[in-house]
Amino acid sequence: MERKEIYSILDGERDFQDSKWGGKQNDNYHEVESWVLYMQHYLTKAINRVSTEKGTQGGLDELRKVVALGIACFEVHGVPERK
């Protein structure tokens, strides 16, 4: 899978999250710590799914959410460039 396609799918996940939770209006109230906790919640779900289900699809579904939540955090708080 190409990076461009991955980014497109993550963009779609962000659109879904915005429609579900209210977008920037809601996101602006969350500090970095909150985003990390949300990411940990879904990462734990990913771990549970890959350890209890056959195949990797369930874990990948949860991981997509984790990555998109990280993007949401960066949208609100910015992202430091790699030095």
Neighbouring C-beta atoms of residue 41, cutoff 10 Å: 14
Instruction: Please give the C-alpha separations between residue 77 and each of 7, 13, 14, 62, 72, in angstroms, as whole numbers.
Output: 20, 19, 16, 23, 9
Burial class (CB in 10 A: 0-12, 13-18, 19+), 43: middle
Q: Are 60 and 44 in contact (CB under 8 A)?
A: no
pTM for the structure as a whole: 0.93
Q: Specify the pLDDT at position 25.
A: 86
Supply the mean pLDDT for the chain: 96
Beta carbons within 8 Å of 53's beta carbon, 6+ residues apart: 59
Q: Which residue has the tokens 């461009």?
A: 4
Q: Read off the pLDDT of residues 16-55 as tens digits, 9 standing for 90 and up.
A: 999 999 988 888 899 999 999 999 999 999 999 999 999 9
Q: Specify the pLDDT at position 5.
A: 98
